[in-house]
Structure 1
Amino acid sequence: MIFPDTLPLLLAALIIEAGLGYPGRLYAWIGHPVTWIGALIAGLDHGLNRENASFAVRRLAGIATLAILLAVTLAAALALLWLCRLAGAWALLPLALFASTLLAQRSLHEHVARVAEGLERDGLTGGRKAVSMIVGRDPESLDKAGVARAAIESLAENFSDGIVAPAFWLGLGGLPGAALYKAINTADSMIGHKSPRHLAFGWAAARLDDLVNLPASRLTALLLVAAAALTRDADAFAAWSAVRRDAGRHRSPNAGWPEAAMAGALDLRLAGPRVYGAVRVEDGWMGDGRAEANAADIRRALLLYRRACLLLWGLAGLGAAACLTITV
């Protein structure tokens, strides 16, 4: 399966995942592809990341870990692809079911909506508890506005990392492409940070994740700008202006694009200085609007997100229709 045959698969996977998500009972029974990938990364980290080794040796061990991870992931994806093709004309359905597990439209919406619900129902305590499930920063350092901003920032960044990026690589490289992206992104989240243990070992994972997320982060910003143009309580011009002005100020080469677009569209200020654990991280502000975000702003962001997802579906649908036309 190669481009453009992957575009009908992408559309089917997006629709299935939005409608069904990943059943909780199935997760309890067999886990999830991300948990399987995470278990392999954790095992390699334990076995190859020796604390008494030199910086250079640990960096090489991290490169080897990434190579092993990608080789195993590719082999598994190709095996699934071969098994699905045994279904002949019906191969698209099992392939789309497998591919849908690599997307997160539904779960992202649910997790972010819980933050708004927590703030509305239980105030700051409820908001902190809900936001702690989706961000790495210290929730006790956040006031109500900080909780709301953290939820909106997570929505914007994870729209790129958890949906648009795997969709991009699924559309470009089929199930193997999306699976490889998910392995890289999971490795970055687990070992790609600058802690003493992973500064050298996670270097390769972090750099490769930056690279593979580059096209999707830009596409995500464009989707959010377009969604703002279709939303009465949003400003597409301000979203585009914020992207052009602020995206490059973010400490991440990719996260600033969707965060700036979201901030501009909703007349908010996002990112800025934050606390992770006991460490204060200085970062540029995205947008020049209000910093005092609230639960209503989270719901506005979710509306924008839903419309951006529909636009992504539309792009996939246009591509799938073009493929069918070419085939016929």
Structure 2
Amino acid sequence: MLLAGTIMIDPTSPYLLLSLALLLEALLGYPDGLYRLIRHPVVWIGAVISRLDRWLNRPHWPTVWRRAGGVLTVLILLGGALGIGGALQIWLLRLPGGALIVGLLASSLLAQRSLYRFVAAVPAALRREGLAGGRAAVAHIVGRDPNSLDEAGVSRAAIESLAENFSDGVTAPAFWLAVGGLPGILAYKAINTADSMIGHRTPKHEAFGWAAARLDDLVNLPASRLTALLLVAAAAVTRGARAGAAARAVWRDAGKHRSPNAGWPEAAMAGALGLRLAGPRRYAGVVVDDHWMGDGRAEAGAADIEAGLRLYRRALAGLWLLAGMWAWAMG
């Protein structure tokens, strides 16, 4: 325990590790040079998932075997993440300054900085290069066909991605870091990466990806609700945003989204900005007829994306405040 005045701070506390990770990721992000040198932990996890997909998801196998292969894949990923993360944390926290090293490792699994950068590139491209530039920029952060989007569609897609990835890429890994330290956040990223790679309702992955998709829904449940609360609170202190409308949109619309989690931050963002988000969308030529989040205008533009980014910054400040309070109270 470290003594700071009359406050005892445990350097092994996951709440302290969360505060360190949030600070380090905001300051440093994941340096491009490091990515070129060793890639990224999510890339390593993805390589393991691809290998298991080839081994355990044979197209000629019966559905029950493929589903069992998907369950085994999830168990292997969880076992590896928890084992490696736990061993690293125990070893590193025995070293001088070990908490800082663990915080640095955990920071690589957060996406505050990169999410802001990628979303902010969209309004910049719309203003500089028009619709073609906006489509090219938004293609980096959404799965839908950008060429089918007009300027309002590009703008809504960027705002929806900001809201959903705030939950999946920032709040959820932060939550599981607070709950379980480095093994907790690593296990979360393994599950989330598996869902993004194999959790699709396609002939190849509907059976094999079933376990990954269901588990991803479960582990994202607390963070999606917390993210909605953070956005509603941020709207209350952001000029031009509407906290009451955000809360009403969450209450009315979040549960109608086809995803059990994405609707919460999207509805909060839509209500706060006076927009309608989600709704019918096209993925790989297939129209997904989803419920609208919010009851505002569907016409959005670069200024709305920038308003969403202002809201995101203040919601991040709320997450930082919670992390600091937890570290102080639980230290």
TM-score range for the pair, normalised by the shorter chain length? over 0.9
Partners of 1:4 and 1:323 within 8 A in 2: no
Give the 3-state SS of the residue equivalent to 1:280 in structure 2: strand
Q: Deviations over 1:157-201 (max 9, x none)?
A: 000000000000101111111110010000000000111100000
In structure 1, what is the equivalent of residue 126 of structure 2?
Answer: 119
In structure 1, what is the equivalent of residue 73 of structure 2?
Answer: 65
Instruction: Report deviation, 1:78.
Output: 1.7
Partners of 2:11 and 2:75 lie apart in 1 by 24
Given the alignment, which residue of 178, 187, 194 partners 1:171? 178
| Structure 2 counterpart of 1:207, one-letter code | R
Q: Deviations over 1:270-308 (max 9, x none)?
A: 000000011111100000001000000000000000000
| Structure 2 counterpart of 1:214, one-letter code | L
Instruction: Report deviation, 1:323.
Output: 2.8
Give the 3-state SS of the residue equivalent to 1:9 in structure 2: helix
In structure 1, what is the equivalent of residue 7 of structure 2?
Answer: none
Partners of 1:3 and 1:171 within 8 A in 2: no
Gaps of 5+ in 1: none
Instruction: Report deviation, 1:4.
Output: 8.9
Give the 3-state SS of the residue equivalent to 1:205 in structure 2: helix
Q: Deviations over 1:55-102 (max 9, x none)?
A: 1111001001111111111221122113312314x2210010001011
| Structure 2 counterpart of 1:301, one-letter code | G
Give the 3-state SS of the residue equivalent to 1:319 in structure 2: helix
Partners of 2:77 and 2:190 within 8 A in 1: yes
1:273 aligns with 2:271: no
Partners of 2:12 and 2:99 within 8 A in 1: no
Partners of 2:12 and 2:161 lie apart in 1 by 31
Of 66-75 and 285-294, deviating more is 66-75
Given the alignment, which residue of 220, 245, 249 partners 1:242? 249
Partners of 1:289 and 1:315 lie apart in 2 by 30
1:91 aligns with 2:101: no
Structure 1 runs of 4+ aligned residues shifted over 2 Å read none
Given the alignment, which residue of 196, 204, 209 partners 2:211? 204
In structure 1, what is the equivalent of residue 31 of structure 2?
Answer: 23
Partners of 2:82 and 2:323 lie apart in 1 by 24
Instruction: Report deviation, 1:232.
Output: 1.1
Q: Deviations over 1:221-268 (max 9, x none)?
A: 000000000101100000000000000110000000000000000000
Give the 3-state SS of the residue equivalent to 1:199 in structure 2: coil
In structure 1, what is the equivalent of residue 5 of structure 2?
Answer: none
Partners of 2:18 and 2:81 lie apart in 1 by 19
In structure 1, what is the equivalent of residue 108 of structure 2?
Answer: 101
Identity over aligned pairs, percent: 64
Given the alignment, which residue of 284, 290, 311 partners 2:297? 290
In structure 1, what is the equivalent of residue 3 of structure 2?
Answer: none
Partners of 1:60 and 1:322 lie apart in 2 by 43
In structure 2, what is the equivalent of residue 74 of structure 1?
Answer: 82
Partners of 1:193 and 1:255 lie apart in 2 by 16
Partners of 2:187 and 2:212 lie apart in 1 by 12
Partners of 2:53 and 2:128 lie apart in 1 by 41
1:10 aligns with 2:32: no
In structure 2, what is the equivalent of residue 52 of structure 1?
Answer: 60
In structure 1, what is the equivalent of residue 229 of structure 2?
Answer: 222
Partners of 2:200 and 2:235 lie apart in 1 by 33
Partners of 1:318 and 1:189 lie apart in 2 by 32
TM-score when normalising by structure 2: 0.96
Gaps of 5+ in 2: 1-9
Partners of 1:289 and 1:215 lie apart in 2 by 27
| Structure 2 counterpart of 1:118, one-letter code | A
Partners of 1:3 and 1:173 within 8 A in 2: no
Partners of 1:3 and 1:174 within 8 A in 2: no
Q: Deviations over 1:88-146 (max 9, x none)?
A: 4x221001000101100000000000111111111110000011110000111100000
Change (3 A) 1:150 1:17: same
In structure 2, what is the equivalent of residue 183 of structure 1?
Answer: 190
Partners of 2:65 and 2:271 lie apart in 1 by 44
